[in-house]
């Protein structure tokens, strides 16, 4: 399935419904994280795009407008809707996340790579779990998750196939890309959440979106 085939299978109206479902899901995810870190998270309206999977990283580069490397948290999910979620932070911004979890009980120093890794994984786990879980709930699906995995220091111009999921480097795979930007108020930390689902989920998703709207 190429991009135009995917777009014809998945209409503009389907994309609009999916954006609204994602809007609700991202809202739930940010509320869950805000409860943990006591900070307000500013959201952008979600955007849906159809891409070839191997164009994804360049798209992220253009969209994030960063020449920095990215720290990415990846979590796979399986249900009728199956795919991968990626939460990406410019590497330089990752340390700012640690201050969100300003916990005196933490015995690790603020400069500890382990603390940075654990913080990224925890933020990713909360945001991805809440977001994908809410999508599944709204669309009457039930998903299971892989543990979150940190893919550090992704160089967008030269992504190593060993460094990042092969899903992003399969030239024939189509992806439904859903993006929102999380901006942590007063912390100057931006994160980008992307959900990538392959074409095998597309027909189910189309029907599920129709059913979602029909509930009202």
Partner 1 sequence: MSKKLLVVDDSPVSRSIIKKCLPKDQEFELYEASDGRQGLEKFQEVRPDATLLDLTMPVMDGFEALEEIKKIAPDAKVIVLTADIQPKAYEKVMALGAAMVIPKPPSSEALAEGFSKIGLI
Residues found near partner 1 in the complex (CB under 8 A):
13, 16-17, 19-20, 23-28, 30-31, 34-35, 39-41, 43-45, 138, 213, 216
Q: Which is nearer to partner 1, 52 or 187 (CB)?
A: 187
Kindly state the smallest distance separating residue 172's Cβ from partner 1, in Å: 31
Q: What is the CA radius of gyration of the chain?
A: 17
CA distance 115 to 108: 6
Neighbours of 53 (CB within 10 A): 22
* Smallest distance, partner 1 to C-beta of residue 107, A: 30
Cβ 198 vs Cβ 174: under 8 Å: yes
Instruction: Supply the minimum distance, in Å, between the C-beta of residue 85 and partner 1.
Output: 18
Pick the closest to residue 148 from 77, 200, 61 (CA basis).
Answer: 77
Question: CA-to-CA distance for 49 and 197, rounded, in angstroms?
Answer: 11
Rounded Cα distance between 40 and 36, Å, is 11
Taking the complex as a whole, how short is the minimal distance between the CB of residue 137 and partner 1, in angstroms?
A: 11
| Tokens coding 109 | 């120093």
Nearer to partner 1, 6 or 34 (CB): 34
Q: How far is the CB of 49 from partner 1 (least distance, A)?
A: 16
Of the candidates 1, 15, 11, the residue with the CA atom closest to the CA atom of residue 177:
15
Closer residue to partner 1, CB minimum distance, 10 or 154: 10
Least separation, in Å, of the C-beta of 167 and partner 1? 27
Largest CA distance in the chain: 54
The residues, any chain, with a CB within 8 Å of residue 46's CB and separated by 6 or more, are 19, 22, 23, 26, 178, 179, 180
């Amino acid at each position: 399935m190429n991009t135009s085939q995917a777009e014809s299978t998945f209409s503009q109206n389907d994309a609009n419904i999916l954006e609204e479902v994602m809007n609700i899901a991202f809202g739930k995810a940010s509320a869950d994280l805000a409860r943990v870190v006591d900070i307000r998270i500013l959201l952008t309206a979600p955007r849906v795009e159809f891409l070839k999977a191997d164009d994804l990283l360049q798209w992220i580069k253009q969209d994030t407008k960063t020449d920095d490397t990215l720290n990415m948290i990846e979590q796979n999910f399986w249900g009728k809707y199956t795919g991968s979620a990626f939460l990406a932070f410019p590497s330089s911004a990752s340390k700012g996340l640690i201050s969100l979890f300003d916990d005196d009980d933490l015995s690790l120093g603020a400069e500890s790579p382990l603390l940075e890794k654990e913080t990224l994984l925890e933020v990713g786990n909360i945001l991805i779990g809440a977001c994908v879980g809410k999508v599944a709930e709204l669309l009457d699906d039930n998903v299971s998750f892989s543990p979150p995995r940190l893919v550090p220091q992704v160089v967008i111009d030269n992504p190593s196939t060993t460094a990042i999921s092969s899903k992003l480097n399969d030239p024939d795979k189509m992806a439904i890309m859903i993006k929102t930007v999380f901006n942590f108020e007063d912390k100057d930390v931006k994160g980008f959440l992307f959900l990538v689902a392959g074409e095998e989920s597309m027909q189910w998703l189309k029907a599920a979106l129709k059913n979602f709207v029909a509930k009202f």
